[in-house]
Structure 1
């Protein structure tokens, strides 16, 4: 029986490593690559300062779509087809909701490897997903 593997990506080198790990370790499984657009930030700040609303959100959607296309290309280089999903919301809760809603069996997620005060100040999506996930999580650094 084919397992469902979820790989959340965020345009970081750590998420690229997580994807490469997933396609190498689970080439015969159903792999879904998920990018979450964080709406809280999208509604407040843009790259050029204060950009509000639809224009900036569309820019984030384009970037997310481009990232998912790159992920598909990376997987294809390893001979693996992946499904891609673009969602909007708070990353950790959107990822854990996706796990539950789509019968995911395993998560492979990149981690920045922060600890101590840096982790507390910046937060960690990988840590939150690991704590909240109803399925096993592999963290890749």
Structure 2
């Protein structure tokens, strides 16, 4: 029985579909929506990384707020509640690391980078990595 579900969400239509699928098909499960924001890296240069690091957590929370607001709208339509989690770092790695705390992951087949020439034909890079490496079952939603 699926009791806890992790739904990674960005601002893509596929992520919204994944959340809708989860809410419709797992009415008794608790749902956590995670939005992962990439962290400043050393490749940006030490000065830029340090300048961004001071307010990065606040900026990540602010960026996630718009995604979570859309998620709450979708859940309100179905009279459901969700938990929201902000992740920082590499999206696929962050999702995989969290997945062990849940029974399954439901993820959109493509995320917000769906327009890039480097994307996979049927499954986006993050979704593909999560589906291959997560320690729990993964449902891909198109």
TM over 0.5: yes
Aligned length: 130
Quick one: structure 1 residues 118 and 90, their matched pair in 2 at CA, closer, same or farther if it must change by over 3 Å? closer
Unaligned runs of 5+ in 1: 45-49
Residue in 2 that maps onto 1:3: 3
CA contact 1:14–1:110 (8 Å) conserved in 2: yes
Shift of 1:63: 1.9
Where structure 2 has 5 or more consecutive residues not aligned to the other structure, the ranges are none
Q: What TM-score do the two structures reach when normalised by structure 2? A: 0.78
Whether contact under 8 Å (1:7, 1:109) holds in the other structure is yes
Moved over 4 A (4+): none
Give yes or no for the alignment of 1:111 onto 2:113. no
Q: Which residue of 2 aligns with 1:53?
A: 52
CA contact (8 A) 2:106 2:138 kept: yes
8 Å Cα contact 2:104-2:137 kept in structure 1: yes
Contact 2:2 2:29 in 1 (8 A): yes
Q: CA RMSD in A?
A: 2.7
